[in-house]
Amino acid sequence: MAIAGLTSSSWDTTVALVAPVPKFLALIRAGRGLSHSDRGGGQGGMTIAHTWPGWVATGLLWFLAVEFMLGAVTKFWSGPTLFGPAYSVKFPDWGWPAWFRFVVGAIEGACALLLAVPYHEARFLGSAVLILVLTGAVVTHIVNHHGPRESFAAPVHLVIMAIIALATWPAHWTDVFAPGRWS
C-alpha cells in the first residue's frame, strides 16, 4: 500500500491513519522513524531517536510521566498540595468518595511509569488508560461547573494523551498483550 510515497510498513500505515497529528508529535515513535538514508543525508543507521526531534519527543514523554507521577503522589497526601486543597477534600466536593483518590492516584502512577518505558506498546497502554481517567476528570469538572482556571489541565492532557495513543498505536491490538512481548 503506497500512500503519498509511503511504503507498506506498519509505521507508514500508522502515520497515514493519524495524518492530522503533527509530524513532531508522531515522532514519539522514535526508533522507527526515518533514517539518514531516507532523508537523503547518508547511509542510514541513525534514527530520528538520535536527532533533536526524537529527543524532544522523548523529553515530552518524560515530562508528562513526571507530571502524572507528581499528580499521583499528591492524591496520597492528606494535607494541602502544591495545587490547592487536599484531594481528600476535593474528591468529596466533586461527588466522589474520599477513598477514590487512592484509586485514581494508583492508576495515574502506573500510567506514568508506562509512559516512561521505551516500548511503544507500554506507552500506548499508559496513554489509553489515562484517556479514560482524564475523560472522567473532564466530565467531573463539567458537571461541577468549574471555571477555566480549575478545569484547564484535564482537557489539555486528554488531547495530549489522545495524540500519544494515536502515535503509538500498535499494528494489532493483541501486540500489547502478547506473551513475552515485554521481556
**pLDDT averaged per 10 residues in sequence order, the chain, 183 residues:** 42 45 50 38 46 80 95 89 85 93 97 91 94 96 88 93 90 70 61
- Domain assignment of residue 2, yes or no: no
Q: What's the whole-model pTM score?
A: 0.68
Name which of 110, 89, 119, 108 is nearest 153 in CA terms. 108
- Domain assignment of residue 31, yes or no: no
Structural domain span for residue 80: 53-177
- Domain assignment of residue 183, yes or no: no
- Domain assignment of residue 130, yes or no: yes
Write down how long the chain is: 183
pLDDT at 23: 52
pLDDT at 181: 63
Collapsing DSSP to helix, strand or coil, 84 comes out as strand
Q: Extract the C-alpha cell encoding 69.
A: 507521577
pLDDT at 1: 40
Query: How many Cα neighbours within 13 Å face the side chain of 152?
Result: 4
Asked whether the beta carbons of 61 and 116 are under 8 A apart, the reply is yes
- Domain assignment of residue 100, yes or no: yes
Domain count along the chain: 1
- Domain assignment of residue 81, yes or no: yes
- Domain assignment of residue 172, yes or no: yes
